[in-house]
Structure 1
Amino acid sequence: MANGGGSETLVLYEKRGWLREQGRSWSSLRKALRNSIAIIGLLTVWEAAPRLGLVNVTFFPPFSEVVQAWWRLLAAGDLAEHTAASLSRSFSGFALAIALSIPLGLAIGWWKTVAELLNPLLELMRNTAALAILPVFILLLGLGETSKIAIVFYACAFPLLLNTISGVKNVDPLLIKSARSMGLSSVRLFRKVILPASIPTIFVGIRQAGASSILVLVAAEMVGAKSGLGYLVQYAQFSFLITDMYAGIITISVIGVIINYTLLFVERRLTGWKQTYSE
């Protein structure tokens, strides 16, 4: 009897656990559908407007035709080739900006002497748009890969730098006082308090830089390149391959969304303590 009662209890717990999992799955599905309503509505309008004659189908083809063009480019290998070229340039400039801008931003935010020395130069350069000095990069570095990576680096550097500086300077003073009262040295204070507390703000800069790395690169590829998504979009426009042009634009948008959500995932993993503390 006792064994029978234990088995029934175990089955009951398993059933409840299964029901909870099903409830979470349905809740996640409903949330995903709710968050996708605007996108679904946009795609529906995109499909219907040209077919109903509301817009010129020559310049604004239905979404289904764009999807067909996208699949054709993918099957032919052209889309993969251009995407790989763009991502290689984008990630190179982005990674270089992270490697240089974050340590420099930490130094400027933490040491007053460094800030007084570099702030005037940073204020001058950060107000100069990256695309405005693209011709300078091309003149100095040529039309090859170096100039494109350099312009991506320049565009990514300042969001990273400014957010890192802001993250360091806006650390709660009570945290710093508490750490000092416990006898922490300057090095341990920086490593144990300042750096962890700055990570959320630094990641704001990383996400902004991630978006800039794609947008600026696409514009640069339209000026001087023989490969890449920016080149694909411009070539399709000049050749009047309108569906190919929209296919390239959609690819750029999807890549931007993927980069943003990937960085959000990494941020949540690195700042799990923040969510626990807020709860």
Structure 2
Amino acid sequence: MNRLTTVLVRLALFLAFVCAWEVLPRLGILNARLLPPLSDVLAMLGQLVGRANVQEAMMVTAAEVVVAFVIAVPLGAVIGVAVAESEYFGEIFKPMLFYVFSVPKSIFLPMFILVLGIGFHQKVAYAVFSTLFIVIMSASAAVESVKPEHVLVARSYGATRRQILFRVYVPSMVPILLETLRIAMIFNFTAVMIAEMYASRTGIGHMIANWGENFQMRQLFAGVILLAVVAILFNETIRWLETRCSTWRT
């Protein structure tokens, strides 16, 4: 199947989905109170974007996501590199990291609420905790992906530790780390949404939870579409950066 055919099939499936969403509730095949027609949802989305309280909630959520991401990624990368580079730290912490990584992080949310209360710090801390382990594991794998012979050649030519880091390690690790950023943002964004829906007074996740509890389905689906668009835009931006850096692979 060539590229054009693949694109056309994807477009056809998307159009079929859109048409079904619009037509089936209109014909009464699906309950319009549970699944409003797409045109009604999009009209509501336009109204929500213009509301001051929704804009404020989006800003709160964006701040939580950005702060947690900025903390979790560098911290996880440093720990991951240390675990991969040090045999001592690797033997001690790698098994522990694998065990903690396999545990669903949502079960720890009540502990964060009890310790930190309900607010900005609690949501950021929980998002950092949820994101940290995937960054650690990926950074460790990125370091281990560097070919030892490249490091050996650099050392034989008298390269300093700094030169080896930026001329050998970084170019080899960047593609993996960019992929990690995409995955980390998914974990980060999901954690913030869970924290806002579970126990929060602010944020778009809190508003979506309220819309669902109050059976405001047009607002609910409009909020979901809004968050989906933001997530897709970020994902595609990182994918574009990854493609640009693909020539750095060794």
Q: With structure 2 as the length reference, what TM-score do the two structures score? A: 0.90
- Residue in structure 1 matching 2:234, options 248, 256, 259: 259
Residues in 2 aligned to 1:37 and 1:202: alpha-carbon distance in whole angstroms: 34
* Number of the residue aligned with 2:177: 202
SS in structure 2 at match of 1:143? coil
Shift, 1:31, TM fit: 9.1
Supply the AA of the counterpart residue of 2:174: I
| Aligned twin of 2:78 | 103
Determine if contact 2:179/2:242 at 8 Å carries over to the other structure.
no
What residue number does 1:150 align with? 125
Q: Give the residue type in structure 2 aligned to 1:247.
A: A
Aligned-residue identity in percent: 24
Structure 2 residue corresponding to 1:42, chosen from 17, 20, 24: 17
* Structure 1 contact 90–149 (Cα < 8 Å) conserved: yes
Cα pair 2:178 2:241 within 8 Å, conserved = no
Give the equivalent residue in structure 1 for 2:151.
176
Q: CA deviation at 1:36?
A: 4.1
Q: Distance in 1 between matches of 2:20 and 2:153?
A: 57
- The C-alpha deviation readout for 1:153-185, integer Å capped at 9, x for no partner, is 111111111111001112223323332332334
Asked if structure 2 preserves the Cα contact closer than 8 Å seen for 1:126 and 1:158, the reply is yes
Stretches of structure 2 lacking an aligned partner (at least 5 in a row): none
Question: In structure 2, the residue corresponding to 1:218 is in which secondary structure?
Answer: helix
Distance in 1 (CA, whole Å) between partners of 2:26 and 2:110 is 42
Q: How does 1:51-62 map to 2 (within 5 A)?
A: 51-62=26-37
Counterpart check, 1:273 vs 2:239? no
Q: How much is the aligned-residue C-alpha RMSD, in angstroms?
A: 2.3
Structure-2 residue corresponding to 1:138: 113
Match of 2:215 in 1: 240
What is the CA–CA distance in structure 2 between the aligned matches of 1:175 and 1:129, rounded to whole Å? 38
Q: Distance in 1 between matches of 2:215 and 2:186?
A: 28
CA distance in 2, matches of 1:48, 1:173: 59
Q: Residue 75 of structure 1 aligns with which residue?
A: 50
Rounded to whole Å, the distance in 2 between the matches of 1:166 and 1:184 is 24
Q: CA deviation at 1:197?
A: 0.4
CA distance in 2, matches of 1:32, 1:73: 32
C-alpha contact 1:159 1:206 (8 A) present in aligned 2: no
Deviations 1:238-278 (A, max 9, x none): 21211001111111111110111122233344x25337x7x
Distance 1:83 1:31, change over 3 A: farther
**In the superposition, relative to structure 1, how do residues 36 and 173 fare at CA in structure 2: closer, same or farther (>3 Å)?**
farther
Q: Give the Å deviation of 1:196.
A: 1.8
Alpha-carbon deviation of 1:211?
1.1
Q: CA deviation at 1:228?
A: 1.4
Shift of the alpha carbon at 1:200? 1.1
C-alpha distance in structure 2 between counterparts of 1:73 and 1:127, whole Å: 38
How many residue pairs get aligned? The number is 248
Once residues 137 and 104 of structure 2 are traced to their aligned partners in structure 1, the CA distance between those partners, rounded to angstroms, is 15
Output the CA distance in 2 between the equivalents of 1:111 and 1:190.
Answer: 15
TM-score of the superposed pair, with normalisation by structure 1: 0.81
AA aligned opposite 1:104? I
